[in-house]
Every structure is written in C-alpha cells, then in structure tokens.
Amino acid sequence: MTIGRLAEITKVPASAIRYWERHGLLPAPERESGQRRYPPEAAERITVLRKCQQAGLSLVEIGEFQRERPRREAMIRAKITEIQQRMVDLEHAHQLLTHALRCSEEDIVRCPKFRQQMAAWQTPGVARGPLAEPAPGRFTPTQGGSGPEVESCA
C-alpha cells in the first residue's frame, strides 16, 4: 500500500511515517517505481508506535522497545517505575483538587486536613491520607449541580 493509504488507515500523517522510518522505528518499505510500498503489517507497527507514545515512551525508548528482549526489559522496568510514580502524583493531585472543591477554608493552606495530607505525602510510599475519599469511586460532578458540598475543615 502507498504511504497515503497507510496514513489514511492509521490516521497518522505521512510526514510522521517518514520521520519514524528515518529514525529506524519503522522498517524501510520496498519501493515500486520510486514510491514506498508498505506491507499490511506496517499499520500494526504504527499502532504499536502510537500506543508507546501515548504511554509516554520517548522515541529513544520506543527504539529500545523494539530491540531484543534483554535490552528492552531494562527500559520497560524503568518505565513501569516512572509510570507508578506518576500514578501516585496524579492521585495526590486528585485528592487535593477534590478537597479544594469541598473545603470551607478561604486559604487551602490553612486547612488542617490539607496540612495533614501534605505531611502524609512527604512520607515515601504514601498515596492516600485524610483527603482521600473513603469509597474507591471518584468524584464526578452531577449534571446541573455545582459539584460537591462544602465541608467544614476546622
């Protein structure tokens, strides 16, 4: 298939496909009358590249991901650790923002629950604390509502 068709079915610009080829992330296709001709599995390879990008892998890491198993395992383990830390950071951000919506304090830094939570976050490995919701569910604003009730933090 042509680069135009490949770009169309993968929803990736032809310029990105050529870029990935130049950097060795996609195998160079055969040429027919000077035009690139891609095999059907090129679309699958592009899907993998896009998923790797969405997972936060850099182009160098994507290159490592495509190498032999022993070389890619070290990169994958490091990336998993990085993602786990980002998940903790996002959980902290979620707790903070959810609490800020509910808190009655004018200045969130003066809130005793928030201060207690900040102290808990300083403890390595602590993802939850007094701001964490008791139920495993997440706050979702109700339609037409103004969000969660304001809670007294004093």
DSSP sequence for 65-132: HTS-HHHHHHHHHHHHHHHHHHHHHHHHHHHHHHHHHHB--SSGGG-HHHHHHHHHHTSTT----TTS
The structure tokens 């706050």 sit at 139
Across the 154 residues of the chain, what is the mean pLDDT of every consecutive 10-residue run?
94 94 90 90 93 89 85 88 91 88 85 84 64 45 45 60
Place of tokens 């929803």: 11
Kindly give, in sequence order, each residue whose CB lies less than 8 Å from that of residue 2, ignoring residues fewer than 6 positions away. 35, 36, 37, 38
pLDDT in tens, 83-115: 999 998 999 899 888 888 888 888 888 888 888
User: What pLDDT is recorded for position 14?
Assistant: 95
Asked if 109 and 115 count as a contact pair (C-beta separation under 8 A), the reply is yes
Are the C-beta atoms of residues 92 and 129 closer than 8 Å to each other? no
- pLDDT in the model for residue 152: 60
Q: Measured between alpha carbons, how far is 18 from 26 in angstroms, rounded to an integer?
A: 9
Using CA atoms, how far apart are residues 95 and 18, in angstroms rounded to an integer?
43
Please tell me the predicted confidence (pLDDT) of residue 141. Answer: 38
pLDDT at 50: 92
The verdict on pTM exceeding 0.75 is no
